[in-house]
Amino acid sequence: MNKILCAGDFFVLPELFENAIRERLPLHDLEFTQIKTQWPMEPFRDIDGVSEASGSVSELIEKLQGVEIAATHLAPFSAEVFKNSPDLKMIGVCRGGPVNIDVKAATEAGVLISYAPGRNAQAAAEFAIALMLAAMRRITRGNTDLHKGIWRGDFYSYEKTGIEVYGSTIGLIGYGAIGKIVAKILIAMGARVIVFDPFTDKALMSADGVEAVELDYLLKNSNVVSLHARLTPDSQHILNAENMKLLPEGAVIVNSARGGLMDYAPLPDLLRSGRIGALALDVYDVEPPPSDWPLFGIENVVLAPHLAGATKQTAWRAANIIGDEIKLFLDGKTPQYVANKEVLSTLSLGK
């Protein structure tokens, strides 16, 4: 019998994990136990040395006794957890990367870590386009004021009208799974799409109909800039006070990727000066932003509470990717998305 912990929350429900695993392994003798953390009712946070986590280390350790496999979304798999979970052999974390897992401690404990790239790519891409349109066409401002009984006829004056996607040059910083979908949608809408991504082959971009450019060129020539890069030490504040001055007057910036990709401090001045014409955000340097956050109340700022990946399809897809990974593991095969491949030699998995 294999004992499996399904550590979900109010988005990726524990039962989604269990159902996905049962469907794939109907003939296996499986015993399930569950944890349901409070995310997103409570924000995720750093817990015991791991990032973007939710739940209790002590409860997790208690539930992991005798457990060989764990499926999780945000549970805090810290070094302390691995130290006190001797039966654990594999964790499937249904995120684009195992940020809430101490991968070094897992590797030292001989625990394989699998993850779920692309689980929210379609949802995040669609949301980025929605933010872009909301900022370019003043949709949210018009909605807010009309609810207050204010008819914004002034938005039809030439100086306040928006801009169209068709014919615009739109710059994407990052060309991973999400960026590729965003580009495809924008090209279909008639935009010229330019991309800065030093890690993607330029021939591949060209075949997709986008132009590979350097960052300074992108900033100087884009009517809209949308961020889709991973947050790394090299990409931290890839948009900053100095290079945002390169933007053409009235440019629109969209960030639905990671708050750390931008320096938020200069944004109020850039908005007031008109260098940035509109700003659309789903992620922040501090989440949630404090009540005195300087961007609150500025008319040409569109805000969302980190909702880009929030679709039922994302939760279902995430659980099913991990279900596939666990099936491979229990069938003695190598999972497709392994974060610590050095563990494979100790597990003697087949191909």
Judge whether residue 349 has pLDDT over 80: no
Instruction: For residues 111-123, give the mean pLDDT.
Output: 95
Reply yes or no on whether 287 is catalytic: yes
User: Which residue carries 């015991």 as its tokens?
Assistant: 48
Q: pLDDT digits over 52-65, tens only? A: 999 999 999 999 99
Residues of the chain with pLDDT > 70: what percent?
Answer: 99
345: confidence class by pLDDT, cuts 50, 70, 90: confident
Instruction: For residues 39-49, give the mean pLDDT.
Output: 93
Reply yes or no on whether 28 is catalytic: no
Region of 266 (left: φ > 0; alpha: ψ -120 to 50; beta: rest) is alpha
Cross-strand pairs, 350: 333
Q: pLDDT digits over 279-333, tens only? A: 999 999 988 899 999 999 998 999 999 999 999 999 999 999 999 999 999 999 9
Instruction: For residues 1-9, give the mean pLDDT.
Output: 95
Q: Are 277 and 300 in contact (CB under 8 A)?
A: yes
Judge whether residue 346 has pLDDT over 90: no
pLDDT of residue 160: 86
Q: pLDDT digits over 180-215, tens only? A: 999 999 999 999 999 999 999 999 999 999 999 999
- Pinpoint the alpha helices (H) of the chain: 14-24, 57-63, 79-83, 103-108, 121-137, 139-147, 177-188, 202-207, 215-221, 267-273, 312-330, 344-347
pLDDT of residue 32: 97
Which of helix, strand or coil describes residue 247? coil
pLDDT mean across residues, the chain: 95
pLDDT of residue 27: 85
Instruction: For residues 16-44, give the mean pLDDT.
Output: 95
17: confidence class by pLDDT, cuts 50, 70, 90: very high
Judge whether residue 351 has pLDDT over 60: no
Structural domains of the chain, ranges and CATH numbers in brackets: 2-119+311-347 (3.40.50.720), 121-303 (3.40.50.720)
pLDDT of residue 43: 87
pLDDT of residue 350: 52
Reply yes or no on whether 237 is catalytic: no
Instruction: For residues 121-134, give the mean pLDDT.
Output: 97
1: confidence class by pLDDT, cuts 50, 70, 90: confident
**Closest C-alpha among 276, 325, 319 to residue 301:** 276
Instruction: For residues 68-96, give the mean pLDDT.
Output: 97
Instruction: For residues 100-129, give the mean pLDDT.
Output: 96
Q: How far apart are CA 99 and CA 103, in angstroms?
A: 9
pTM: 0.88
Query: Considering 22, 137, 237, 306, which one is annotated as catalytic?
Result: 306
Three-point CA angle 297, 299, 300, nearest 5°: 125
Q: pLDDT digits over 97-108, tens only? A: 999 999 999 999
Query: Considering 73, 95, 119, 258, which one is annotated as catalytic?
Result: 258
Instruction: For residues 258-285, give the mean pLDDT.
Output: 95
347: confidence class by pLDDT, cuts 50, 70, 90: confident
